[in-house]
């Protein structure tokens, strides 16, 4: 159903805070590589992540801390190691936003910018 040109659709309901937090957590190439690694297996020991990613253990630990804080990654203690895995459901707020953007049909820009000397 097409909307008349003078009407606008209600904005989608997006959990802005959680979506932004997830985007921040994903905003580093090393964290994206960790996510890609965890996508390839059901779980991974921290030392294996360090070996695969090729960064210092302390750097990988900080990236894992950020991913865990966002909820994207879970850590399960298997003494003396920690097994990390993905929680795909944690991506829902960001996924909702991206799906809303992807579903929007392309439109020409129609922003009104008043002229500097325009009295009205």
Q: Please, what is the average pLDDT of the chain?
A: 86
Is the pLDDT at 107 greater than 90? The verdict is no
* Ramachandran bin of 71, using left for φ above 0, alpha for ψ from -120 to 50, beta for the remaining angles: left
pLDDT at residue number 6: 46
What percentage of the chain reaches a pLDDT higher than 70?
A: 86
For residues 98-103, average pLDDT: 88
At the topology level, CATH places domain 16-96 in Arc Repressor Mutant, subunit A (1.10.10)
For residues 58-68, average pLDDT: 96
Residue 44 φ/ψ, nearest 5 degrees = -150, 135
For residues 75-99, average pLDDT: 90
pLDDT at residue number 118: 56
The model's confidence at residue 7, banded by pLDDT at 50, 70 and 90, is low
pTM for the model stands at 0.75
**More confidently predicted of 23 and 5:** 23
Residue 88 φ/ψ, nearest 5 degrees = -55, -30
pLDDT at residue number 23: 94
Q: Are the beta carbons of 72 and 23 closer than 8 angstroms? A: no
């Amino acid at each position: 159903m097409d909307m008349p040109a003078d009407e606008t659709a209600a904005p989608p309901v997006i959990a802005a805070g959680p979506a932004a937090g997830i985007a921040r957590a994903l905003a580093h190439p090393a964290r994206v590589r960790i996510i890609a690694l965890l996508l390839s297996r059901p779980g991974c020991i921290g030392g294996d992540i360090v070996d695969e990613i090729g960064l210092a253990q302390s750097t990988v630990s900080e990236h894992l801390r950020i991913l865990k804080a966002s909820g994207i990654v879970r850590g399960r203690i298997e003494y003396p190691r920690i097994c990390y895995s993905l929680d795909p459901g944690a991506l829902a707020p960001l996924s909702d936003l991206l799906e809303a953007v992807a579903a929007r049909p392309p439109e020409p820009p129609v922003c009104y910018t008043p002229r500097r000397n325009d009295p009205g």
